[in-house]
Structure formats: C-alpha cells, structure tokens
Amino acid sequence: MTIHPVVIQGNPVLHRRAAEVTDFNDELRTLIADMHETNTAANGAGLAAPQIGIGLRVFVYAMDNEDGVAPQGVLVNPSLVTGKVSGNSPDPDDEAEGCLSVPGYHFPLKRAEWVRISGYDGFGEKIEFEATGWFARCMQHEYDHLDGKLYVDKLVDRYKRKARRVAKEHGWGVPGLSWMPGVDPDPFGH
Ligand SMILES: [Zn+2]
C-alpha cells in the first residue's frame, strides 16, 4: 500500500465531476487500500479519490457513528439521498467542517442531518445505509468531492470570503499543489 500526496484546492481534478468506476478489479482494490492508508496517515474522516489526483467516483471514510455502520469503509459509485438542509445560519462552533484539500482550516456549513447512501465496495458488492449527524455530514462532504465540489464552494458569503482570503494567502487555487500525510506536519494539528 502507498500513501499518496493530497492535492490542494485549485487542482483541476478536485473541481470537475469524477468518472464512474466500470471495472471492479485489483487496480480498484489497490486504489481503495491506498486511500485508506492515506486517510489514516492524514488523520482524515474521509478521503475521495480526486483528493489523491484520481478522477473516479470512490471515497473512503473512517468515522465512529451511531448508525450501526462499520467505522471504516468505502463507497464506489455512490448515490446519495439527503434530508432537508436547514436555512438557519451555520453554527461556527458546532458545524465547522474541514477538508484535507483545504488544509488547516474549518468553516461552518449547514448540512442535512440525515442521508441514505448506497453504492458498492471494491468487489462490486452492494452497500446501503442511513447516516445521521456528523456521519451524515461526512457522507455529504465526500460525495460532493465526486461532483467536483469543495465545501468551501458551498459556504455562506461571509465564510466564503474568509475561505477565499486564506486560499489567496497560501497561494492556493492553482494546479500542482499538494501535501504529504505522515511527512508534512499535520495541517489540523492532530
Ligand atoms: Zn474534503
């Protein structure tokens, strides 16, 4: 297994729709194993294939949950049904989200409290479950990656401006930037 560099906001693969997986083969299973290893090294809650530069509809997660779902898993070619997203202002303390491709920052974002997700594992076996709370948030965040959307793209104006400012400060928003889990300092201080 191989730990891969995590690409940063601005890399085109993060900003376009990822392709469906068509072959459930060893290559896919190696990708999944590498993604788990990379996510673990990055202390991530989830990692989508585009975040390691691979434009395929695959994500892994590692999150304890109250939904009776395995705390670590993969979704290939997922479909997502979400509950309603509240129109209230996001809570900066309780709803602050982060992303390995926007390293070191958290910005609050409203998400649905409930989702149903279905997809496949690396062998093409069907997976389906419901998720609530932070686990539901994780599913929405990772799913968005497969559609080329980062959470910073969905922020309300005030936080979107902040996120743009930090991106500019770091020189992000251009292709070719990445960081290496387990080598570079943990951007979230874990
Ligand atoms: Zn992310």
Each residue's pLDDT expressed in tens, for the chain with a length of 190 residues: 899 999 999 999 999 999 999 999 999 999 999 999 999 999 999 999 999 999 999 999 999 999 999 999 999 999 999 999 998 999 999 999 999 999 999 999 999 999 999 999 999 999 999 999 999 999 999 999 999 999 999 999 999 999 999 999 999 999 999 999 999 999 999 8
pLDDT at 1: 84
pLDDT at 97: 97
Look up 66 and say whether it is catalytic. Answer: no
Residues near ion ligand 1 (Cβ under 5 Å): 99
Cα–Cα distance list, 49 to 75, 83, 97 (Å): 11, 25, 19
Write 62-71 long-range contacts (CB < 8 A, 24+).
62/36, 63/134, 63/135, 63/138, 65/131, 65/132, 65/133, 65/134, 65/135, 66/132, 66/133, 66/135, 67/129, 67/130, 67/131, 67/132, 67/135, 68/129, 69/129, 69/131, 69/135
Q: DSSP assignment, residue 108?
A: E
- Confirm whether pTM is higher than 0.95: yes
Give CATH for domain 6-83+115-150.
3.90.45.10
Q: DSSP assignment, residue 102?
A: S
| 49 Cα: distance to centroid of ligand 1 (angstroms) | 10
Which residue bears the tokens 């979230």? 188
| 98 Cα: distance to centroid of ligand 1 (angstroms) | 7
